[in-house]
Amino acid sequence: MIWSDVLLEPIDPAAVLDRVGDPRDGAVVLFLGIVRNANEGRPVSGMEYDGYIEMAREQLAAIAGEAAERAGSDRVAVAHRLGALDIGEVSVAIAASTPHRAEAFDAARHVIEEIKKRLPVWKREHYLDREAAWLDGRLPAAAASR
Amino acid sequence: MIWSDVLLEPIDPAAVLDRVGDPRDGAVVLFLGIVRNANEGRPVSGMEYDGYIEMAREQLAAIAGEAAERAGSDRVAVAHRLGALDIGEVSVAIAASTPHRAEAFDAARHVIEEIKKRLPVWKREHYLDREAAWLDGRLPAAAASR
Amino acid sequence: MEVTVLLFAAHRELAGSGSTVVSLPEGATAGALLETLRGRGGGWTQLPARSAVAVNRRYATADTVLREGDEVALIPPVAGG
Amino acid sequence: MEVTVLLFAAHRELAGSGSTVVSLPEGATAGALLETLRGRGGGWTQLPARSAVAVNRRYATADTVLREGDEVALIPPVAGG
């Protein structure tokens, strides 16, 4: 089962991991994106994720489907969180399982790279000095097929 | 803390995952190697792992140290299991966390590739028809420096 | 015709609103919509002259022709993960 | 001098044993040890003429000179993970 969701609640990585796996599979890869305590040398106190949630859900489902197709496996699961996150909280969890390891690494990597390119989500860093700024992001390639 | 071990008991992936992570880190990768139900089309009922355990522990510690050096992170953890495993059981768990994602993927991948090249471990597949065979493996490159 | 426009992140702060309804002539494109918004004055003028857009939750281009009732989102450079 | 030899996986099955002690002349190499083992007859002759070896738990080569008390392991092609 390919599974994806965009959530406002905390992500449970173990639950995402549990959505993949199959007796055919010899490899599982889990990727977690975490809010870290600094960006380009500036101390960060937290991160606020804004998103176009309905479209983000559709894009994330499409990305997961593409990753599954590349991997030849329907065992791909991904959750992305929105809202205000503290340092150390999980912003994204991606799991993939495949018979051989190369495909599982590739699937997880594909999902996070495509998220960075086209998921309609934005983040505002909050700094220790109480300022905040929307982070520079990537202009998604306009593509009617997506 | 770089951590590694070769165990005879079941591996708890969550415990391996918990050994990595740091407020500096924005990325975590967990890789699990799992006993799968077939190999080259032949149904498998289980896998028996033999190992030169003392040397395997030393090699695994060396591999984890190399991965950490490549990644610029001391958050690398790896456990390899020996003994008789059923389908679906975890034979190896590798976790790495780093500030940015490329290094975490690279560290986890490095560890599993080096395990396949040089960890003194052997596996015997048990087939559904009750035969068993030691799997063809890779001749480790003789290297006095290792 | 009327379309609904959604704004996010820095765009929302410039516009002072997360959504607005815009009246456009039939056959107007997403690019024409963006020009109409920028012509409203105030913070709207600071919207970028070129922006990624989504029409009904799919990425589209400045040339995409809009229809009555479309949901058009201006998509600032994305930064998820 | 005497060295301890460890055997694993298919090698252990050929030898019928996981370890053995071998007497060798001073200065003997790991390669010479392997020849000595293969000369024992029976399943020992089926040990490969070339094998990876570890001396005191480190990979070594056929040229590595052994010393009294060394722990020498024949390492079949590995298959971990």
Q: Are C77 and A137 in contact (CB under 8 A)?
A: yes
Is B143 within the bounds of a domain? no
In CATH, what number is assigned to the domain containing residue A59?
3.90.1170.40
Residue range C21-50, pLDDT digits in tens: 999 999 999 999 999 999 999 999 999 988
Chain C nearest-CA distance from A24, in A, is 29
The pLDDT > 70 percentage for chain B reads 97
Beta strands in chain B (DSSP E): 3-7, 27-34, 38-39, 42-51, 76-81, 83-86, 90-98, 121-127, 132-134
Strand D19-23 vs strand D58-60: parallel, antiparallel, or unpaired?
unpaired
| Nearest C-alpha neighbor of B112 from the set B19, B2, B33 | B33
For the CA atoms of B9, B15, B16, B20, the dihedral, rounded to the nearest 10 degrees, stands at -160
pLDDT of residue A142: 55
Minimal Cβ distance to A122: which of C9, C57, C58: C9
Cβ of C10 and A143 within 8 Å?
Answer: no
pLDDT of residue D36: 97
Is C80 within the bounds of a domain? no
Q: Which range of residues forms the domain containing residue C66?
A: 2-75
pLDDT of residue A39: 87
Q: Which residues of A, range 81-140, sit inside 8 Å of C by Cβ? A: 91-92, 112, 115-124, 134-140
Domain count, chain A: 1
- CA end-to-end span of chain D: 37
Is C81 within the bounds of a domain? no
- Are C and A touching by the rule of 3+ CB pairs within 8 Å? yes
Is D81 within the bounds of a domain? no
| Nearest C-alpha neighbor of B80 from the set B65, B68, B90, B66 | B90
Minimal Cβ distance to B140: which of D10, D12, D75: D75
Query: Within 10 A of A35 (CB to CB), how many other CB atoms are there?
Result: 25
Mark the ranges of chain A whose per-residue pLDDT is less than 50: 143-146
CA distance D30 to D72: 8
Profile chain D (81 residues) by mean pLDDT over runs of 10 residues.
97 96 98 97 94 96 97 96 94
Structure tokens at B18: 């918990």
| Nearest C-alpha neighbor of A122 from the set A137, A143, A141 | A137
Interface residue D68 vs chain B (CB under 8 A)? no
Structure tokens at A55: 């479209």
Is B30 within the bounds of a domain? yes
Cβ of C79 and A138 within 8 Å?
Answer: yes
Is B144 within the bounds of a domain? no
| Nearest C-alpha neighbor of A2 from the set A84, A71, A88 | A71
Minimal Cβ distance to B134: which of D10, D57, D62: D10
CA B109-D10-B117 angle, 5° bins: 20
Assess whether pLDDT exceeds 50 at residue B144: no
Assess whether pLDDT exceeds 90 at residue B141: no
pLDDT of residue A144: 34
Q: Which range of residues forms the domain containing residue A121?
A: 3-8+15-131
Mean per-residue pLDDT of chain C: 96
In CATH, what number is assigned to the domain containing residue C71?
3.10.20.30
Calculate mean pLDDT across residues B86-108. Answer: 98
pLDDT of residue B137: 86
Is D36 within the bounds of a domain? yes
3-state secondary structure of B116: helix
Is D80 within the bounds of a domain? no
Cβ of B138 and D78 within 8 Å?
Answer: yes
Interface residue A55 vs chain B (CB under 8 A)? no
Beta strands in A8-145 (DSSP E): 27-34, 38-39, 42-51, 76-81, 83-86, 90-98, 121-127, 132-134
Cβ of D78 and B58 within 8 Å?
Answer: no
What pTM does this model have?
Answer: 0.94
Domain count, chain D: 1
Assess whether pLDDT exceeds 70 at residue C57: yes
